[in-house]
Structure 1
């Protein structure tokens, strides 16, 4: 089997920005309403956390984003159209959403014919659901750069792992701890190298160059395995040897920062 390679994905805004806001409310336990609180509680985070014992390109964050996008964009606004005063409100919604998915809007949604729009809703439901992947990928692309939020998301995952007992969950390495991965795949090493620009997440020391192939550098779990951390790709950062040894099995949160001249 050939090794996986990183591919280029187009990034869109619009609904992806709304999805990011929903994800933030989920991570920080700040639902916007009672219904959203119920949906948040229905997400099976424990199962997703356990699945993250194995490194996968479909991260825990992808899975949560997909669940939230399905609820917000499909379940409430496409599958259930009780919110519409008339079917053309729905048609306008669909016509606006498809371009954000990099899909040409089907012409039926632009026609002022109720029967045609109703038929189009059924006809293009699977296409719409497939297009949600583009919105999820775009949201993930933004969030991948926000390591403070990724740290806090993984802290939320760790709270699902920490109380688990090995005699109930034999896939664990020990109580509240998953196995350390035997290796980090190249696609993930490359993604971390380019995101972190070869610099240690904790002190900023340059430990590798994104322009050089096959370098040896240390990779650290932001939320340590000893504290319930997972092997989800969103939990990994580049680290220098000194910081990695000093941090050991402790939490160390680094706030996201933006460098720009002082405008005042």
Structure 2
């Protein structure tokens, strides 16, 4: 996959995943520098506040864009928890998998 991405898109996956400073700041401003899950204040580096990640709502690996509408601010702890819960989503909500299969396989 990495080789394919580099060959087709002429950049590494890490390069394509990187967010511009303006996009990052737009999301942080919109989210009021707070984790959107637990509401704790977040900050970069050594500033006052918890460490954070910008999380893709539609996963980047599934084609989710690096657009502010698809990004949400999460503290590091909530980001880890979100990924753990997303792994279990299909197992816990089999109807979601059926819905996705319908979307993907619809030939209309």
TM-score (norm 1): 0.24
Q: How far 1:182 sits from its partner (Å)?
A: 4.8
Aligned-partner SS, 2:58: coil
| Greater Rg over alpha carbons, structure | 1
Alignment of 1:171-186 (within 5 A): 171=9, 179-180=13-14, 181-186=16-21
SS in 2 for 1:223: coil
1:188 is paired with a residue whose SS is helix
The runs of 5 or more residues in structure 1 that have no matched partner are 1-165, 174-178, 253-264
Q: Say how many residue pairs are matched.
A: 77
Q: Which residue of 2 aligns with 1:232?
A: 67
Confirm or deny that 1:206 pairs with 2:41: yes
* 1:193 to partner: Cα distance: 1.6
Note if contact 1:193-1:208 (Cα within 8 Å) is conserved in structure 2: no
Give the unaligned 5+ runs of structure 2. Answer: 90-108
Report the Cα offset of residue 221 of structure 1. 0.7
> Which residue is 1:248 aligned to?
83
- Corresponding position of 2:26: 191
CA gap of 1:195–1:248, structure 2 versus 1, over 3 A, is: same
Higher strand share: 2
When the two structures are superposed, what TM-score results if normalisation uses the length of structure 2? Answer: 0.51
Spell out structure 1 runs of 4+ moving beyond 4 A.
none
RMSD of Structure 2 on Structure 1 (CA): 3.7
Counterpart-to-counterpart distance in 1, 2:83 and 2:33: 20
Q: Which whole-Å CA distance do the structure 1 matches of 2:67 and 2:17 have between them?
A: 14
Q: How far 1:244 moved relative to its partner?
A: 0.7
Distance between the aligned counterparts of 1:190 and 1:229, measured in 2?
A: 19
SS at the partner of 2:18?
coil
SS in 2 for 1:204: coil
